[in-house]
Structure 1
Amino acid sequence: MNKIKELCNIYTNLTDEDVNKIIEVSSSIELIANLEECDAFIDVPSKNPEEAIVVSEGRKKESIYTNSVVGKKALRINEPGVIRTLKTGEVFKGVRALTQENRFVRQKVYPIYNKEKIIGVIIVEDDISNEIKEDFTIPNDGSKSKRQKTHQLMNLINSNRLINDNLESAILVYDENGILRIKNRKADMIYIGRGYNELEGMHYDDLSLDNTLFTNINKILEITEDNKVITKEIKVGNFYYGIKRILIKEEDLRVIEIVQDITDIKNKEAEIISKSVAIREIHHRVKNNLQTVASLLRIQGRRCDSEEAKVSLQESVNRILAIAATHELLSKDISDEVKIMKVINAIVDNAKRCFLNIQKEINIEVSGDDFYIDTDRITAISLIINELIQNCYDHAFNHRECGTIKIIVTEQEEFREISVADDGVGFDTSIDKSSSLGMSIVKNYVSDKLKGDIDIFSNDEGTRIKFRFPIKLE
């Protein structure tokens, strides 16, 4: 109890109430060790956020520890789960760590609370040194003792986080002469699959998958002040490998090489690209087919005697071309999203072409925020804007020779807003215009497709129709 108080006073910012809580929990640490048949510890947060202090321990009968570790530091690089739990309260099970006596363990880490404050952690440990030895081969060739090589491996794994990050990769460690000194089982699997029988004692030049030479490694280190990391992807036969080389300036160490078989990843990437190309080709063909339909409707319109039928057919042509314009954009873009300004400008250009024959000077201005819109909503937005522009051309500038249409895009925190305004003659908003096909399309698409709402304002100075929709559909 006195030891816990002393350590907490020296190394931590815990209050007396916090310390008393730690002492209360520590009374059960031996029981926890016996029940779990593991070594158990209590660590508390140090004043240094990157480390903790061991304040209590419980030993199993055959403990892996030679000496007491009470008062020792637990560093983030050695025991990442401990520091993480102290900061977040998250429970960790199965996280690997390196003890103060350089042994590999698997930890369970649980937070200790005083009210809502994290004041420490309980750690339960299993020895996994044998698992590490099974995974790695450390040849004893007489140049160093096996104990020294094991210690070297521990330091390498600890300092480079190889255990936590790369056990699914091949790990090869070469000495200052380019001789392979340490390897793991994954290295055997990769190289034996390439026809090698035994890797131990082989030279770097014989194992290099990309035909780099050990002399080149030394040349790089000669012109580099610090250690250097080189990453690359290579193809060998039908296989792809991701390689990370850590070049090190040490007396007995030169290269740590991490090799990962990424063949499946590359094959899937190629498959995705192939599908993307196919989808783009589909969009291109849909655009062509829609343009063909529009051309047929134009021909039909020219043969009609009824002016009303001609107008209806032309409106249908405009709608079809608006949809075709979106498919043209999608045929040129690989992603599932398109910039909204691209969509609007495409619709505007299409509208200008469709109304070339009118004897009026109508200017269309587009301004505002640009953002990505998902492909599911592009067609709906295209049709809405097309209808609003067409309404302006058809009704806003009666008995006028010129006019301006302004399309303004606004990006808000949770919504996107688009308004189409004209400086035309306006109309009486009290008169129900929902019976017209154009406004029916606009209102239905805003509410059903975009899950949004629409506002209409009009007077003798012009009309503004504004619709907004949520960023994400529910």
Structure 2
Amino acid sequence: MDTIWKLCRKYTDLSDEEIGIIENMAGVLQPLANLEDADIFIDCPGRDGDAIVVAEAKPADVPSSYKKTVVGLLAKPENEPAVARTLRLGVGTKQMKAITQENGNTIQSVEPIRSGSRIIGVLIREKRVDEQRQVSERIHFSQHSFETIAKALAHMASDSNWLTECIDEALIMVNQEGIVTFRNTLARDLYQKLGYIEDVLGQPYDNIRLVEPEESGEEIGGYSYVETTVGRQVLNIKRIQLDAPDMAFAIVVRDVTWRREQEKALILKSVAIKEMHHRVKNNLQTIASLLRLQMRRTDSRETHQVLGESMNRILSIASTHELLAQSGMDEVMIGEVILNIKNNTMRYFANPHYQVTISLEGDDFKVDSDIATSVALIINELLQNSLKYAFRGGENGQVRIVVNQGELYSRIQVIDNGGGFDVNNTEQNRLGLSIVQTLVKDKLRGTMEIESSPAGTCATFDFKNQIIEAADVT
């Protein structure tokens, strides 16, 4: 019950009375799970649109769909549409497919939990999809060994053509005289798509061959394979020697056009992402160069400082886009981002009269570009503050950046052993801290805490993860 209270207080807008209703409902989950032979859950609507699992019960007499606990993990609308529908409409949803946090397939039935007219959660019953039913009703020959395929085809006769219609590839059988004696419906449709007017059944195989013999690929043990393009279609063509008196060989053709188009689209997308981040980086560096020129033209120390801080903020974002351009993805390792910011900050703001070391500790994981740029700006501001104000006495110092990856939210701490400052003093110029607090709240959807004393300062902020993997929740 304490877990339900903590999760609801942290991630939902439920009142104390509404959380009490959820806790009372959770008390009957285990008997329900045993009675229904199903996994039973309670999800509550989160502040950011996703639902969060706050309670669970696994059946005692049948296997659960889950190896680990999922309490504390998100239920995303695209994976669990039944949950999203019931939370949105306030009506029950029966027998809908869902994907678990462990990427398994289940069937969900969902009922709303109400407090007055408000939907405060949902009660979910999940049953495993029978593994035999998960398999497509069509047979995928490409998933079996060639010996298995040959044996299966050798036993297929014309009076068993219902079985060949279950094959998810175009199938052609050729006799010893080189005549096509059988083709399934997919083969007929494929050849019509390729422009053949007449049915291929009964035609000499040489008349309908899609590749020349020298292009059929290297033959090993009566089997050959080649991928070729015919018109706009990309085809995987397998030739399988058959050990049967009335059949010489079979041709199995799989249309992979859509798959190859998707692969090309991914490559083009990667190139476009690289180019986009590269251009953004160049534009930001141009702006930073203009600010640097302005710095050289002013004699005002205050103006020089303000321009320098602005330039460093821009370079922080630019360095992140440089990493994204190198990766070709819209994700980057958070450790690389922080190391770049650390090096830039030391270069521009470290005081030459005393020695300060900056260390990076903890976890390293991928974040998307939005999180990366926000984290870069926040770390830049916090490091600048430490280097400029924490060690004014001229002593040596240390700044630690500690990263902890969590299930829903991750946390970063910037800790220095400087002289500290009065956190409650509102008269100090706090543009940097104002920027940090705004970014944490609006961009990262997290919270920010600062503790300071004569022994040092610890700034802690958390942010919502974009990549969430099922893991143990302790």
Aligned mates of 1:435, 1:266 — CA distance in 2: 57
CA contact (8 A) 1:361 1:403 kept: yes
Question: 1:78-124 CA deviation, whole Å, 9 max, x = no partner?
Answer: xxxxxxxxx97899xxxxxxxxxxxxxxxxxxxxxxxx999xxxxxx
Matched ranges for 1:200-239 at <5 A: 200-202=201-203, 207-211=208-212, 220-221=220-221, 233-239=227-233
CA contact (8 A) 1:205 1:214 kept: no
Q: In the alignment, does 2:431 pair up with 1:445? A: no
Question: Of the two, which has the highest radius of gyration?
Answer: 1
Matched ranges for 1:218-367 at <5 A: 220-221=220-221, 233-243=227-237, 256-355=250-349, 358-367=352-361
Q: In the alignment, does 2:177 pair up with 1:183? A: no
User: Match for 1:199: what amino acid?
Assistant: V
Aligned mates of 1:400, 1:357 — CA distance in 2: 9
Aligned mates of 2:238, 2:216 — CA distance in 1: 18
User: Match for 2:201: what amino acid?
Assistant: E
1:212, CA displacement in angstroms?
Answer: 5.1
User: Match for 2:200: what amino acid?
Assistant: L
Aligned mates of 2:429, 2:160 — CA distance in 1: 82
Q: The residue matched to 1:220 in structure 2 has which SS?
A: coil
Cα–Cα, structure 1 residues 470 and 247, in superposed 2: closer, same or farther, change >3 Å?
Answer: farther
Aligned to 1:109: none
User: Match for 2:425: what amino acid?
Assistant: I
Query: Of 134, 159, 172, which aligns to 1:151?
Result: 159
1:358, CA displacement in angstroms?
Answer: 3.4
Q: In the alignment, does 2:449 pair up with 1:455? A: yes
User: Match for 1:220: what amino acid?
Assistant: I
Aligned to 1:27: none
Unaligned runs of 5+ in 2: 1-104, 110-125, 129-155, 468-474
Aligned mates of 1:360, 1:456 — CA distance in 2: 25
Q: In the alignment, does 2:179 pair up with 1:171? A: no
CA contact (8 A) 1:204 1:214 kept: no
Unaligned runs of 5+ in 1: 1-86, 92-115, 119-147, 223-227
Question: 1:324-357 CA deviation, whole Å, 9 max, x = no partner?
Answer: 1111122222322222112212222222332367
The sequence identity of aligned pairs, in percent, is 40
Aligned mates of 1:220, 1:416 — CA distance in 2: 53
Aligned mates of 1:297, 1:88 — CA distance in 2: 57
1:287, CA displacement in angstroms?
Answer: 0.8
- What TM-score do the two structures reach when normalised by structure 1? 0.58
Aligned mates of 1:89, 1:394 — CA distance in 2: 58
Cα–Cα, structure 1 residues 425 and 152, in superposed 2: closer, same or farther, change >3 Å?
Answer: same
Cα–Cα, structure 1 residues 460 and 117, in superposed 2: closer, same or farther, change >3 Å?
Answer: closer
Aligned mates of 2:107, 2:341 — CA distance in 1: 53
CA contact (8 A) 2:316 2:380 kept: yes
Aligned mates of 2:127, 2:192 — CA distance in 1: 53
1:405, CA displacement in angstroms?
Answer: 1.5
Q: The residue matched to 2:221 in structure 1 has which SS?
A: helix
Greater relative contact order (Cα < 8 A, sep 6+): 2
Aligned mates of 1:149, 1:293 — CA distance in 2: 74
Question: 1:151-195 CA deviation, whole Å, 9 max, x = no partner?
Answer: 3434445xxx51xxx2xx533234577653321343234335546
Aligned to 2:61: none
Aligned mates of 1:308, 1:200 — CA distance in 2: 87
Cα–Cα, structure 1 residues 383 and 152, in superposed 2: closer, same or farther, change >3 Å?
Answer: same
Aligned mates of 1:177, 1:289 — CA distance in 2: 69
Question: 1:226-262 CA deviation, whole Å, 9 max, x = no partner?
Answer: xx8x776433454322446666655655655442434
Q: The residue matched to 2:421 in structure 1 has which SS?
A: coil
